[in-house]
């Protein structure tokens, strides 16, 4: 591989110590320009941006989800060498694309996401190991005012916590345990500028706040799994190991893609028959404690 921004030894150490790694300027303005422009021109993305309740308190966000990847901007970014190489380096084995989202917190609207681990859900999907992570790329500023992510530094070292379900959420942590976590681990607000990257471990406890700013907060959130760790449950075809041709690191800069949202299949996150529906809604919880 010849990724242009390979992770340094210090960055790799920091990720394993903290459970996350912020990389200022991981992508450049000219690479992000086409998707930022496409969203500005068509904020609903052809009506495919779904406003859904994601199980966190009673808040809603606007989501675009995809589990496959083609050669438009969206699919090329999902396969981009520096992102895939970074994920493989941090996970410690070759990776495949698990699923991805664009998460928009509209201006001045609620958008709080409660403290949770992503692997809590991925475990329910049947992944045996927490050898999974997400790479976020900021498409807009994400500040404390606009609802950036917060990480409990080092919390991934606890391993997987049970999820508990209550009236309106399924991703909660037991309140007594959560209070203790907040005492024990440093709460770091990870503010991002457009183009900044953030890799975070599937077991790091994280949250995000409401968007009180007067601009939408939009993040690209790409999740990868180790190739040896595909789900063992049989309703997970969309999360099964799939081929992924790595896109050269200069592909977006060179315009080597066809359209922005034109080819990668976008999931209908409100349709229970869509393969992407269970990215958020896990009606059967075989392993719910």
Ligand X SMILES: O=C(O)CCC(=O)C(=O)O
Residues that bind ligand X (CB under 6 A): 103, 113, 118, 147, 149, 206, 208, 219, 221
In the complex with ligand X, which residue's Cβ is closer, 170 or 257?
170
In the complex with ligand X, which residue's Cβ is closer, 148 or 251?
148
Name the strand (E) or helix (H) holding 226.
strand 217-226
CB of 251 to ligand X, least distance (A): 25
In the complex with ligand X, which residue's Cβ is closer, 103 or 181?
103
In the complex with ligand X, which residue's Cβ is closer, 135 or 244?
135
C-beta neighbour count of 143 within 10 angstroms: 18
In the complex with ligand X, which residue's Cβ is closer, 124 or 251?
124
CB of 1 to ligand X, least distance (A): 26
CB of 206 to ligand X, least distance (A): 6
Residues 197/135, Cβ–Cβ less than 8 Å? yes
CB of 142 to ligand X, least distance (A): 8
Cα 176 to Cα 2: distance, rounded to the nearest angstrom: 47
Token duo for residue 1: 């591989």
| Chain residue whose CB lies nearest ligand X | 208
Sheet containing 60-66: order of strands: 20-23, 197-201, 132-138, 217-226, 95-105, 60-66, 50-53
Cα 133 to Cα 173: distance, rounded to the nearest angstrom: 20
Cα 50 to Cα 281: distance, rounded to the nearest angstrom: 13
Residues 201/19, Cβ–Cβ less than 8 Å? yes
Cα 151 to Cα 192: distance, rounded to the nearest angstrom: 13
CB of 114 to ligand X, least distance (A): 9
3-state helix, strand, coil in the chain (%, to 5): 25, 25, 50
In the complex with ligand X, which residue's Cβ is closer, 220 or 266?
220
CB of 212 to ligand X, least distance (A): 14
């Amino acid at each position: 591989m010849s990724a242009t921004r390979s992770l340094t030894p210090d960055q790799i150490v920091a990720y394993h110590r903290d459970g996350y790694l912020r990389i200022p300027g991981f992508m450049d303005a000219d690479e992000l320009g086409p998707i930022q422009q496409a969203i500005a021109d068509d904020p609903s993305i052809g009506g495919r941006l779904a406003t859904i309740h994601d199980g966190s308190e009673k808040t809603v966000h606007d989501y675009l989800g995809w589990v496959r990847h083609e050669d438009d901007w969206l699919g090329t970014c999902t396969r981009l060498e520096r992102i895939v190489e970074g994920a493989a380096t941090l996970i410690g084995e070759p990776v495949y694309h698990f699923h991805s989202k664009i998460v928009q917190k509209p201006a001045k609207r609620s958008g709080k996401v409660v403290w949770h681990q992503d692997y809590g859900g991925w475990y329910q999907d049947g992944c045996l190991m927490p050898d999974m992570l997400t790479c976020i790329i900021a498409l807009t500023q994400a500040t404390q005012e606009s609802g950036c992510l917060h990480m409990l530094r080092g919390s991934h070292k606890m391993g997987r916590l049970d999820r508990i379900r209550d009236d309106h959420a399924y991703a909660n942590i037991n309140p007594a345990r959560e209070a203790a976590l907040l005492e024990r681990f440093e709460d770091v607000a990870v503010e991002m500028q457009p183009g900044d990257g953030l890799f975070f471990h599937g077991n790091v406890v994280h949250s995000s706040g409401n968007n009180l700013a007067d601009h939408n907060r939009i993040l690209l959130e790409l999740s990868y799994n180790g190739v040896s760790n595909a789900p063992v449950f049989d309703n997970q075809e969309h999360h099964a190991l799939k081929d992924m041709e790595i896109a050269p690191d200069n592909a977006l800069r060179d315009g080597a893609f066809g359209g922005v949202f034109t080819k990668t299949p976008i999931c209908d996150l409100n349709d229970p028959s869509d393969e992407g529906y269970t990215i958020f809604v896990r009606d059967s919880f075989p392993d719910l404690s």
